[in-house]
Structure 1
């Protein structure tokens, strides 16, 4: 079984399309999305529709929960950035309507996927112990171990930090799949809404499950239009 694992799309449909176009060169069985799916980028509704049409397995991220549960009229922004975010939230909530907002509200915070070797994969946004706390590449082993919680599964797939990594703590694989819509690699313009950050690359991770175990391949997909604007090569 071959799984394409992504996270933190943040409504960046062009970046998602670039990753899926690259992925179409291989025949994969599952698309896993580790949260922060639609907000605040330029194409939230189209991003949601593309993922649901693809049958993506999704968990709720921090921005997804905020979008679906907060009343923007009750918020009190303290800066221009916060005011822009609140206005963007109002626009996206209006675009989605009650039905889709309810579906985002009901997204699980964890999904477990059986693996072919008898093990189990756990899909989360931040960490198994707290979906709102990120597991980062520079954390010491004891901190990562604490965030694994009491029942972490054999493979933990997460996002939130926007920086991909693959580490093993004991017998548990921790695979952070980075970000599609807000990858920190390379140059990008200053955030504006609804355009948002414009990264030069997008991250994704292939996980292949076989009776002998898993293989992991983390990839970086260049976003050619942005690269060319900055005079960079089409491949990074």
Structure 2
């Protein structure tokens, strides 16, 4: 197993072991680190007879839950969750997050907002002082297809940087999210800005569905290290 996967596994196991209790309704995030969390959750269900139900944040997460024979539910049946375990593309010193590199930011944010506690799991490369220190792919912004050019121009004019339409890899054309929208990636932004204010301003722009900025949402982050240990950071 690579050092990165060792780190991801350490963070995932710490989160599941420390925060999941029998009877919990759990939001299951998306991404490679969450795979290890679901594996550990399935182990605990088998060994400890935990009673849990899972709300997935994406098609990928749903398939992962099904593969591990964990009970599925949704926000219609359980609109309030005990905990959400999800990954992040970057976490800064103030516990602000960039999420959405995998294109599931809208559903991830909805599920996280319905949870009493958002627990982030990541490897050591996602731990930064400022957003943009290590993650260079940009801040994802989910937009209505009709508005992507006006939004692209407006962000660049108001805040600088470069905003690009995310293109698909194995198909012609742009990436389409699970909700049928496009994703813009905002790169080369000014790191010394008030992310809470910027996020609020972005969300007021007609055509923006949501952003990959998760501001003041996470309760605690676990960062796995290459030696199989982990460190954590809590929201102040």
The answer, yes or no, to whether TM exceeds 0.5 is no
TM-score, normalisation: structure 1: 0.31
Return the structure number with greater relative CO, CA threshold 8 A, min gap 6. 2
TM-score, normalisation: structure 2: 0.31
